[in-house]
Amino acid sequence: MRVCGGLRRAASFAFSSGDGVGPGGKPRRRAWEKSLSPLERVRRMLPPEEAAEVGRFAEAPQAPAEEKAAAPPEAAATQPGPFRAGELVLAEMRRKYNRTLKLMCRLVVGSVLTSNGGLLPHRDIIGQMPGQMLRTSAGARVLLKRPSLEEYVLLMPRGPTIAYPKDISAMLMMMDIQPGDTVLEAGSGSGALTLFLSKAVGPKGRVISYEIRDDHHSLAKKNYRHWCAAWKIGHMEEWPDNVDFILKDISTAAMDMKSLTLDAVVLDMLNPQSALPVVQPSLKQGGVCTVYLANITQVIDLLDRIRTSRLPFLCEKIIEVTHRDWLVLPAKIKNFKSSQAVETLENIEETPQKEYEENYIQDQVVLTEGEYNESLSDDTETHCSVPYIARPSSWQDAHSAFLIKLRKFGPLHA
């Protein structure tokens, strides 16, 4: 059984308030119902006076045909550009013991990124392109990135344990989710799986996410809203507004299901067998229900309930998703005498006192600061002049869950 809360965080995380996304209950504005021109998108992000200026520009006479031909294509005009105030940045700093410190925060003019590697004012980040390397006040190198959805869900605030991205990818494939699909989820938890479902079904699809606990329901909504707000600023386009968060025990939602046809169902909750009889009638025949369970005894309970209650599900697959992390890194030659005496940089460092501290993530490849600088320099080195060590990392992700793929079948024709 997965525990709720109390887990070690992989990185610290700070959000500023006021993300500009409308609270629940308001009429839904679906971004795809109105396709905005690039100019209109820019106009909406500006203060009113400047927006009016852009509006006047839009109304100006059109450029002659030859000038139009020289203009950049529309796609180029909407490409995500440099970091802007209000979006999320992921700052990465290399640390000892093969670790990378990852800090995610919302960019606010006047704020400062703080770590024990030094300070970096947000105003120095705003205007830089993602992928830029900067130095902190203490001289540490910081790589600046726009967080991917995977990085965001691993670093965002958590209530209950999230479904891990490696498992989510497998579940999306099991359910064969397509853009435009309607998917039901229980429970929302911290909202990690919900965000991936939202991405998979796209602007024409719909995710209906049930959660029994008020605090988890609020957190999932908040994490979703923050991602949408940051996406809008960073990518200059709307993230699909396609999730209905519902605060309700799924096992009491039979009436809600009557009006629904579901392409897929995913259950990440205690006692998923209590939800199956409720959601089953709305799941289309041939559709898949994926269940995420931590213990094999829970898997047995689930399958036993399906058998004894004669629910129309066939268990097609039970899997555990394991990833094996590898280290590939230059070795140091001791005393420069024999290539037999090579050790990985990892072994040469003193052993870490404890397991992971907060804010650190095991990296696949580690270079010391000196070597890191070297790898960034223009010096050409003979191909393979440095011996490399390649072996599975001593740190491997532990078991996360069993994924159960259940297929709904139709009644047997006589």
Ligand X SMILES: C[S@@+](CC[C@H](N)C(=O)[O-])C[C@H]1O[C@@H](n2cnc3c(N)ncnc32)[C@H](O)[C@@H]1O
Q: What is the DSSP string of 228-288?
A: HHHHHHHHSSPPP--EEEEES-GGG-HHHHTT--EEEEEE-SS-GGGTHHHHGGGEEEEEE
Instruction: Give the nearer residue to ligand X in terms of CB position, either 107 or 406.
Output: 406
- Nearest approach, Cβ of residue 197 and ligand X (Å): 10
- Nearest approach, Cβ of residue 341 and ligand X (Å): 47
- Nearest approach, Cβ of residue 253 and ligand X (Å): 8
- Nearest approach, Cβ of residue 11 and ligand X (Å): 17
Instruction: Give the nearer residue to ligand X in terms of CB position, either 190 or 344.
Output: 190
**Burial label, 57 (beta-carbon count in 10 A; 0-12, 13-18, 19+):** exposed
Omega cis (within 30) before 189: no
Instruction: Give the nearer residue to ligand X in terms of CB position, either 137 or 148.
Output: 148
- Nearest approach, Cβ of residue 184 and ligand X (Å): 11
Strand partners for 99: 95, 362
Would you say the C-alpha torsion 211, 212, 216, 218 has a positive or negative sign?
positive
Instruction: Give the nearer residue to ligand X in terms of CB position, either 97 or 292.
Output: 292
- Nearest approach, Cβ of residue 174 and ligand X (Å): 15
Contact 103, 113 (CB under 8 A): yes
Instruction: Give the nearer residue to ligand X in terms of CB position, either 45 or 212.
Output: 212
- Nearest approach, Cβ of residue 391 and ligand X (Å): 32
Instruction: Give the nearer residue to ligand X in terms of CB position, either 165 or 330.
Output: 165
Question: Which of 90, 81, 129, 145 shows the shortest CA–CA distance to 113?
Answer: 90
Longest dimension (CA), the chain: 81
Instruction: Give the nearer residue to ligand X in terms of CB position, either 190 or 290.
Output: 190
- Nearest approach, Cβ of residue 152 and ligand X (Å): 12
The b/e string for 74-105 (b: 16+ C-beta within 10 A; e otherwise) is eeeebebeebebbbbbbbbbbbebbbbbbbbb
To 10 degrees, what angle do helices 192-201 and 214-235 make?
50
Q: What is the DSSP string of 154-195?
A: HHS--SBPPPPHHHHHHHHHHHT--TT-EEEEE--TTSHHHH
Instruction: Give the nearer residue to ligand X in terms of CB position, either 274 or 368.
Output: 274
Instruction: Give the nearer residue to ligand X in terms of CB position, either 193 or 366.
Output: 193
**Burial label, 42 (beta-carbon count in 10 A; 0-12, 13-18, 19+):** middle
Instruction: Give the nearer residue to ligand X in terms of CB position, either 181 or 268.
Output: 268
First to last CA, the chain: 42
- State the residues that interact with ligand X by CB under 6 A: 2, 160-163, 186-187, 189-193, 210-213, 216, 249-251, 268-270
- Nearest approach, Cβ of residue 220 and ligand X (Å): 7
- Nearest approach, Cβ of residue 194 and ligand X (Å): 7
Question: Which of 186, 309, 314, 302 shows the shortest CA–CA distance to 250?
Answer: 186
Distance of alpha carbon 414 from alpha carbon 9, whole angstroms:
56
